[in-house]
Chains A and B, each alone.
Chain A
Amino acid sequence: MVGGLQRDITVVFLSESDDPYLFKICDELYPYVGDRVRFWKICSPFSFPKAGKEKFFVLNRIGRYGIRSLAHDWLLNLMSDSKRRFVYYACDVPVSDLALEFMERSTVILVNTDEMKSYLCSLNESFRDKIEVVPLHISFDFVNGVLPLKRIDDRFHILWFSLSGTGMSDVAKLLKDLDLLNLYVRVICICNRVGILRSKVEPVQNVDVMYFEALPYKDLIAFCKMCDVIIYPVFDDLDNVSFKVKPPTKFLNAVAVKKVLLVSPLKYYKEVADGRSVILVNDDSWIDVLLSVVKSNADYVYDEKAYLDARSKFDSVKLCSEYMKVYLGGEHAAS
């Protein structure tokens, strides 16, 4: 449970696992919500009924695996009570039938991008009136408080992460190409079920690749801070709906730790690309760009203006009130 004091309003976060998205919509916002509000996280469906008496609920992508249990049925039943407020957080596809059932019964659906809104409306037009779009945020205070990891040696460090594992085959292809060159670099790969990536990439001989299962958010930030550059290559799947609707998490992480982001021309990254801090890389120029970054990284120094710009738009302090309006509804949020 986040917060130990008695407070006026409790917002219950229900989730099937304690994942980074739950951290974003709960833990990362909590320092800014004020004294009257308490956040309560429940990360196992079978513990959901503990919160049966509460009024405000945020459902973190419940039912996305499509596996139904008695706890899901209990929650669906509770959602028919119109005196309670249920916010369904949907930030990514695929959406299962069970997830859609939860969305239908929720009071509000919270998404991070207009594209996600359009996508959900294409699945069910009746969602249109209850979808609220609030941009994804990042707590710059939290990021600033994390220390970078200690380096093993003076290699150039490249970081790739994708907590859901999207883009795994793309980075595998890039690593294979990179292995043909004899560069003094280390590539750190972080994602769920990272063993699958390893099985696609190994054996590499000329580049040191290290693999990590999806880490706690704080550790991920520590890796981001240690590395020289963050990459997100997508070659074959640019039209995949998932890339169109997802919020630009790589950008937020890169900007908050003041690192250069090299990224394929995905929709959201096109909007934030400035050619210095966020650099769009086409399919056939990844190796060239990486070579030039590794050999003369002075050309790719982070632009302070981009940092300040992002801080003014995406800092949790700034966006917290918008999230609270969605969580509590206009009346409570105002009070």
Chain B
Amino acid sequence: MHIHYVTSASDLSFLYHCYIPSKYLPRFDGVKVTISSYPGFVEEENARKSDVVVLQCQTKNSVFQFMKKASDKVFIYDIDASLWGLYSGRFNGRFWEKGHLRVIKKFMDFCHGVTVHSSSFYGLLVERFPELKEKIYLLPPLVDFEKSQVRKRCSSSIRIGWQGLPFDFKMSEHVAHAVAQVIRGGYDVKAVWFGFLPSALKGLKWWEWEYYAWPGVENFYDVLGSLGLDIGLLPVDPEMHDGELVFRRLLDYAMFKVAVVATNVESLSGAVGCFYGVDLSNKLNKWRRSIMDLLENEGMRSELSERLYEFALQFDASKRVGEWLEVYKEISR
């Protein structure tokens, strides 16, 4: 089976939904995986030669025309909540426009199957489009443990970090204030921000913070592992978040045995007890207090990081990727 992913992204969605499966799926006999992205898209030879084409969040007309012509192929529409600006069960955001939805619906109608990555989004899609229920499939997250190499210096200072993308900037700024307050309180702490630089950090002394820009999909885990984080922050706005991405970021921290402080949102309910929760109000003093609790309690840090690591092991890509292949095969039948 030749599976070809067509993607327009080079961000975390691409990493989770194309890059990782494309690494593990070829380990099955007879499976070949290729990827094409902007600007080549469907002009690539691999797209024409493949048996199954997975369209990751595609809305381009050229892709749709290709799909119409290639009647010998099986098409799967892979969709994540952020495509629609669909947060926590409510449809909102500037992407939620009738025209845009119509295009996505057209793709979903035309494809042989639709794959999603979180149960909450699965439920929403089924509820909204009951006629498509038979062809919507839920895929488990895949964690690339082969990349989970922790590279940490021996150092007395505690490294507290946040990782994410610039669209999370509000919450990132928010917790950066909490970390800055902790540092100003005299704790031996280094603030490490990966993916976005909040202005709150710039007010600290130059040696008290570090910032790393998005390094590209292929380097993402290498960089995350080299940051040597002790505490990872996962603040979530309960009104505005993509459940799957939040859960994935928790798993990313888990890979490197980082103790996590996170907002207690529903999408993380499966991992309760594996991270230090902050209530949905996200108040600054609560974040500051939670960070200080973990700072002062090394035993709790190592306990939580171990528990989270154990939790994430159930999503080991080498063990779960077969479920993806089964879904692809079932859609192809």
Name A's B-contacting residues (CB within 8 A): 67-68, 149, 152, 192-196, 198-199, 201-205, 210-213
B216 at the interface (CB under 8 A from A): yes
State which of B153, B210, B213, B215 has its C-beta within 8 Å of the C-beta of A204.
Answer: B153
B119 to chain A minimum Cβ distance, whole angstroms, is: 32
B322 to chain A minimum Cβ distance, whole angstroms, is: 30
Contact at B153–A196, with CB atoms within 8 Å?
no
Q: Output the nearest chain A residue to B214 by Cβ-Cβ distance.
A: A193
State which of B39, B211, B225, B228 has its C-beta within 8 Å of the C-beta of A213.
Answer: B211
CA gap between A213 and B226 in the complex, in Å:
15
Contact at B153–A195, with CB atoms within 8 Å?
no
Per-residue CB contact flags for chain B residues 217-233 toward chain A (1 = under 8 Å, else 0) read 00100110111100000
Most buried by B among A68, A195, A196: A195
CA gap between A196 and B153 in the complex, in Å:
17
CA gap between A210 and B190 in the complex, in Å:
12
Contact at A210–B207, with CB atoms within 8 Å?
yes
B212 at the interface (CB under 8 A from A): yes
CA gap between A249 and B221 in the complex, in Å:
32
- Residues from chain A with a CB closer than 8 A to the CB of B213 are 192-195, 213
Per-residue CB contact flags for chain B residues 186-224 toward chain A (1 = under 8 Å, else 0) read 000000001001000000001100111111100100110
- Residues from chain B with a CB closer than 8 A to the CB of A211 are 210, 212
Q: A199-B222, A213-B211 are known contacts; what are 10 more A-B pairs with Cβ within 8 Å?
A: A149-B206, A192-B213, A193-B215, A195-B213, A196-B222, A198-B212, A198-B226, A199-B223, A205-B153, A213-B213
A109 to chain B minimum Cβ distance, whole angstroms, is: 26
B199 to chain A minimum Cβ distance, whole angstroms, is: 14
In the assembled complex, 23 residue pairs joining A and B whose CB atoms fall closer than 8 Å, in A order, are A68-B39, A149-B206, A152-B207, A192-B213, A194-B212, A195-B212, A195-B226, A195-B227, A196-B219, A198-B223, A199-B151, A199-B223, A199-B226, A202-B153, A203-B152, A203-B154, A203-B228, A204-B153, A205-B153, A205-B154, A210-B207, A213-B211, A213-B212
CA gap between A193 and B194 in the complex, in Å:
11
CA gap between A334 and B154 in the complex, in Å:
62
- Residues from chain A with a CB closer than 8 A to the CB of B154 are 203, 205
The 6 A-B pairs of least Cβ separation, nearest first, read: A195-B223, A195-B212, A199-B222, A199-B226, A202-B226, A202-B151
- Residues from chain B with a CB closer than 8 A to the CB of A204 are 153
- Residues from chain A with a CB closer than 8 A to the CB of B222 are 196, 199
Most buried by B among A149, A199, A201, A213: A199
Contact at B223–A196, with CB atoms within 8 Å?
yes
Contact at B216–A203, with CB atoms within 8 Å?
no
CA gap between A19 and B107 in the complex, in Å:
40
State which of B207, B215, B219, B228 has its C-beta within 8 Å of the C-beta of A202.
Answer: B228
CA gap between A211 and B210 in the complex, in Å:
7
Most buried by B among A192, A198, A212: A198
Contact at A198–B206, with CB atoms within 8 Å?
no
- Residues from chain A with a CB closer than 8 A to the CB of B197 are 213
